[in-house]
Amino acid sequence: MSELSTRLDVFKTYKLFVGGKFPRSESGRVYEVTDAKGQWLANAPLGTRKDTRDAVLAARAAVKGWSGTTAYNRGQVLYRVAEMLQGRREQFAAEVAAAEGLGGKKAAALVDQAIDRWVWYAGWTDKVAQIAGAANPVAGPFFNLSVPEPTGVVGIVAPQTGYGHSLLGLVSVLAPVIATGNTAVVAVAAGAPLPALSLGEVLATSDVPGGVVNILSGRTADLAPTLASHQDVNALDLTGAIAAEGPDSAASLEAAAADTLKRVLRPALDPAAQDWTNAPGTERLLSFLETKTVWHPMGQ
């Protein structure tokens, strides 16, 4: 084949995922994303504080519908995400390989685990209440039942480091949040945003209602503090926050979240040492739930 006839690839314009749509950043700006060796991969939208606020608005609007669906229906939707991801396995393997500097085999294994993790959480939707709820034998003629309910809008600072962080890590923090009926705004790994932005395309074709998941790339120092201080965010997952000083440090974000008494999930002591292939427990599922207890008298 002659060089002239070599076909030129079509590049993808990576975009944010907000309210079920794919906007560019309102800033009109992008930043360069490189692979582990410093080679240019793509330009990612430079999401801003305003983009974050727009995303929270979309997430809030989606709460009523998503939290109101049956747990069974949410399970079906999450399983559909796994099905769609399976169909794009090769694409994600390539993106994860480039993002994390991994060989193709390891990257593909990470994608497989990301798919399986969606399946794992799909199965949790209609079981959480069965392990987190309870019939309470109060000392009196009362029926007393405790049931978990979603907290609302959850801001997520996605993992920035750790083995498998770019996709498997993201799925590991996102899936439990929406499985229980919350909606999410995710500030993705700033240095490896491409698998996350592509995940938006999967979600958009998986019957996930618009606004349930909103995905932002950009500087964590811009996005995370906006989520932490936002009046309409109910909970904050700080998994990807840095321990060091700075506006996006875990301590300052947690302090900002205290103003509105957000529920906060703190990051691991050493985020870089986290291996996202480890099997999750139920902590993430149970972190963004409220418990509602109903009393009712018994009598003729």
Partner 1 sequence: MAKKNVDKDVEQDAPAAARPVFEYAPAPESPAAAGDIATSYGHFINGEFADSSGSEALKTVNPATEQVLAEFAQGTEEDVDRAVAAARKAFADWSALPGSERAKYLFRIARIIQERSRELAVLESIDNGKPIKETRDFDLPMVAAHFFYYAGWADKLEFAGFGRRTTDGHSGPNPRPVGVAAQVIPWNFPLMMLAWKIAPALATGNTVVLKPAETTPLTALRFAEICRQAGLPKGVVNIVTGDGRTGAALTAHPDVNKVAFTGSTAVGRAIAKQVAGSRKKVSLELGGKAANIVFDDAPIDQAVEGIVNGIFFNQGHVCCAGSRLLVQESVQDEVLDALKRRMATLRIGDPLDKNTDIGAINSAAQLARITELAAAGEAEGAERWAPACELPTAGYWFRPTLFTGVSQAHRIAQEEVFGPVLSVLTFRTPEEAVAKANNTPFGLSAGVWTEKGSRILWMADRLKAGVVWANTFNKFDPTSPFGGYKESGYGREGGRHGLEAYLDV
d(C-alpha 70, C-alpha 164), whole Å:
31
Q: Per CB under 8 A, which region of 32-40, 71-79, 155-163, 192-200 contacts partner 1? A: 71-79
| Eight-state DSSP code of residue 166 | I
Does 279 sit near partner 1 (CB under 8 A)? yes
Question: Using the rule CB under 8 A, is 293 a contact of partner 1?
Answer: no
- Return the DSSP state at 218: B
**Residue 127 within binding range of partner 1, rule CB under 8 A:** yes
Can you read off the two tokens belonging to residue 8?
Answer: 């030129």
Q: Does 276 bind partner 1 (CB under 8 A)?
A: no
Please give the backbone phi and psi of residue 292, each rounded to the nearest 5 degrees, phi first. Answer: -110, 130
End-to-end CA, the chain: 88
The nearer residue to partner 1, 255 or 294, going by C-beta atoms, is 294
Does residue 124 belong to the site contacting partner 1 (CB under 8 A)? yes
Q: Which stretch, 53-61, 121-129, 210-218, 265-273, contacts partner 1 (CB under 8 A)? A: 121-129
**CB burial readout 130-166, b (16+ within 10 A) else e:** eebbeeeeeeeeeeeeeebebbbbbbbbbbbbbbbbb
Binding mask 29-68 for partner 1 (x = CB under 8 A): ----------------------------------------
Cβ burial of 171 (10 Å; 0-12, 13-18, 19+) is buried
Considering CB under 8 A, how many residues would be counted as binding partner 1?
Answer: 26
Nearer to partner 1, 92 or 121 (CB): 121
Q: Does 75 bind partner 1 (CB under 8 A)?
A: yes
> In this complex, which beta carbon is closest to partner 1, that of residue 261 or of residue 298?
298
- Farthest CA pair distance, the chain: 90
Question: Is 143 near partner 1 (CB under 8 A)?
Answer: yes
How far apart are the C-alpha atoms of 21 and 214, rounded to whole Å?
A: 9
Q: Which of 26, 35, 116, 207 binds partner 1 (CB under 8 A)?
A: 116
Footprint on this chain of partner 1 (rule: CB under 8 A): 71-72, 75-76, 79, 116, 119-120, 122-127, 130-131, 141, 143, 278-279, 282, 296-300
